[in-house]
Amino acid sequence: MTNLDCLVVAQPYASLIANGHKRWEFRSYEAKHTGKIGIAASHTMPWQTKSFDLNRISVGLPRGVVLATAELVDTFYVTSDDLKNNITEPSEITLIGQKLKTYGEPIGEPIEDVKIAIANKSWSSYAWVLENVQPLELPIMYVRSNTSTRTTWVKVEVP
Reading the chain (159 residues) residue by residue, the pLDDT tens digits are 789 999 999 999 999 999 999 999 999 999 998 999 999 999 999 999 999 999 999 999 999 999 999 999 999 999 999 999 999 999 999 999 999 999 999 999 999 999 999 999 999 999 999 999 999 999 999 987 665 556 799 999 887
**Which is nearest to 45 in space by CA: 17, 5, 13?**
13
Judge whether 131 lies within some domain: yes
The radius of gyration of the chain from alpha carbons, rounded to an integer in Å, stands at 15
Q: Where are the beta strands (DSSP E) in the chain?
A: 2-9, 24-27, 35-41, 65-79, 90-95, 98-103, 124-141, 153-158
Is position 28 within any domain? yes
**Does some domain include residue 154?**
no
β pairing state of 90-95 and 2-9: unpaired
Total domain count for the chain?
1
Whether 43 is covered by a domain: the verdict is: yes
Kind of pairing, strands 2-9 and 153-158? antiparallel
Instruction: Indicate the pTM of the whole model.
Output: 0.94
Residue 100 belongs to some domain of the structure: yes
Residue 75 belongs to a domain: yes
